[in-house]
Chain A
Amino acid sequence: MAKQRNDYENSWFPRLQRWLAGGSSALNDHMVEGLKAPSDAHRLISEQTLAQRESEQEAHLQEVQSREAVLYERAHDWGRTRGMRLVRALYAVAAMALCVAVIWVLLTTVAGLPSFGGQNNPINNEVSQRYIERGLQETGAVNIVAGMILDYRAFDTLGESHVLFIAACAVMILLRLSDSGDENQLSRERLEAEANDRLYEPKHDIILQRVAGMLVPIILLFGIYVILNGHLGPGGGFSGGAVMGAGLILYLNAYGFAATERFFTIKTFKAVSFGALAFYALAKAYSFFCGANHLDSGIGLGVPGRIFSSGLILYLNIAVGLVVACTMYAFYTLFRKGDM
């Protein structure tokens, strides 16, 4: 009994029969037909409108690209114009707010300051009272300011002198002509610097020389007076040294480097600065090691008002004055020709 099949037409025996009869299976026919029709259609279309399709695709691609470009441009544009405008506006507002805040803080602080010279100001404490009442006995300096900065707080002044010296060293590192090159190049550089300097400088200006000849001794004398008189009246090492440095600079401007190099070269600068700073450090840096305790210098305080009084203050003033004068002059010469 043969098994009844639902798709008897497509089973292998009738397909073989049909194949032998010269036909093809119904399924194959169907499939071939299904494959044939689109391939024909495709061939027909490609033959007729291949170029048109390609151009259409190209146009579509271009359109998409241009749309993307527009989108990108818009996004970019936002960052460039509107975004920047927004950021700028925010920046201006923030800057205004910061300015107003700072002004407000400063004004409120100034308004809250104690009145000038008031009795209950915080500066009128036991420290200044002690300085004023016992400064003369303890330091021997008539000028209380000198007594403060060179006796009570001499260690601070040591740091300040070293700040000046370090500044001169830094300028030297930056501006001094290199010593490392060979001799020819060094001398050539120096000659160029000198020539460049001479270009703008009226040499042997008779008016300047006469005026400087009159003024420089007075200025140097005044500087020495201010230094030596530091513990007796207004002045001291720093201001006197600055005055002396200015006098040296005036002398240099009038008479040129040839005149000043007779007594002031880089060796002089090194020796004087090192000597003065070393003396100061030896005289006062012990307080760094003894916990800021005061030690007697061994030099008597003397009679207040005399030039040889107030212990170490006079000598410290001289040291500071020498350092400051050398530093000022070194600044000027290094700025001008890169050497001393």
Chain B
Amino acid sequence: MPILNIMLLVFILVCAVAVSMTKDLLTSVIIFMCQSLAMSVIWILLESPDLAITEAAVGAGVTSLLMFVTLKKIHAIKGERDDGEAKE
């Protein structure tokens, strides 16, 4: 159990650094999702399943969705900018 805990914590640290270091915003949001999922597993290991459910639903689900919508609105997702401008 401690080994899994430590691995997850290291994974969270790596994710947290990678989120801020990544140039691509879409990748950054996906890494943020992964971090939230690992965090929810850690909540389960810490015996607080209430928080785990909330973290998985809000942190990995709805927050990332809102980020995706925002990125789409500001045309920050690669590969869509050219299409959009061509059609506009």
| Chain A positions near chain B (C-beta within 8 angstroms) | 143, 145, 199-200, 226, 233-236, 238-240, 242-243, 245-246, 249, 328, 331-332, 335-336
Contact = CB atoms under 8 A, between A and B. Distances in A.
B69 A336 contact: yes
- The size class of the interface chain B forms with chain A is 20 to 34
Given A200-B83, A236-B50, 5 more contacts: A199-B87, A200-B72, A200-B84, A239-B50, A239-B53
Given A332-B66, A336-B69, A239 B84 contact: no
Contacts of B83: 199-200
Given A200-B80, A239-B54, A336-B69, A234 B61 contact: no
Nearest to A143: B50
Contacts of B53: 226, 234-235, 239-240, 243
A328 B50 contact: no
B50 A234 contact: yes
A328 B50 CA distance: 18
Interface in B35-69: 49-50, 52-54, 57-58, 61-62, 65-66, 69
A238 B52 CA distance: 12
12 contacts: A145-B50, A199-B88, A235-B53, A236-B50, A239-B58, A243-B57, A246-B65, A249-B65, A331-B62, A332-B65, A332-B69, A335-B73
A153 to B, nearest CB: 14
Contacts of A233: 49
Nearest to B59: A242
